Amino acid sequence: MYVMITIRLFLIMIVFFLLSACTKNKNANQSSSVWHHKKIKKTIDVAYQQEAMLVDVPIPLYYERIAVYSQETLPESNSIILGYRSSLDLQNIVRFYTGQMDRLGWQQIKVFSGLESLLQFESPDRLCTVSIRPSAKKRGCSDIIIFIGVKEIGDLSPFLL
């Protein structure tokens, strides 16, 4: 009888231990999920701030903002990388950027066209590259990634080919 009570107590302790371990794991997953959502919100907030500084870089109407980087992987503080998804087709977006960037004082350096397009522009103090490609996530849409960086005096930029 004494052995049966000991076995039952031992089994109850094991079950209690397993249940408490599961609860801790669930809380860890929840806190990880909350951290991930906060990180995405911070990235989007940074994108809004960067977009507000770009008064001379056009953004097509009817776009959806897409995350293209995390704050930790941004190459340098004087660079801006923004991403958008548009329902416009590739040719219309290329035409839009070619016309609007010229109107806003940017000089076109080079255009690479094909299945996707890469447009390079410069202003007196900055360089801008616009990458346009069919969206892998949404059929009939195009993804637009805009890279903007400050020119450095005497620097042979990798943007210039």
Residue 82 has what pLDDT? 87
What lies within 8 Å, CB to CB, of 150 at 6+ separation is 78, 79, 125, 126, 127
Residue 127 has what pLDDT? 94
Residue 123 has what pLDDT? 93
Q: What is the rounded distance in angstroms from the CA atom of residue 112 to the CA atom of residue 115?
A: 10
Residue 143 has what pLDDT? 92
Place of tokens 């009939």: 140
- Which domains are delineated in the chain? 54-150 (3.30.310)
Give the chain's residues under pLDDT 70: 1-53, 69-77, 153-161
Q: In 54-72, which ranges are continuous DSSP H helix?
A: none
Residue 63 φ/ψ, nearest 5 degrees: -110, 165
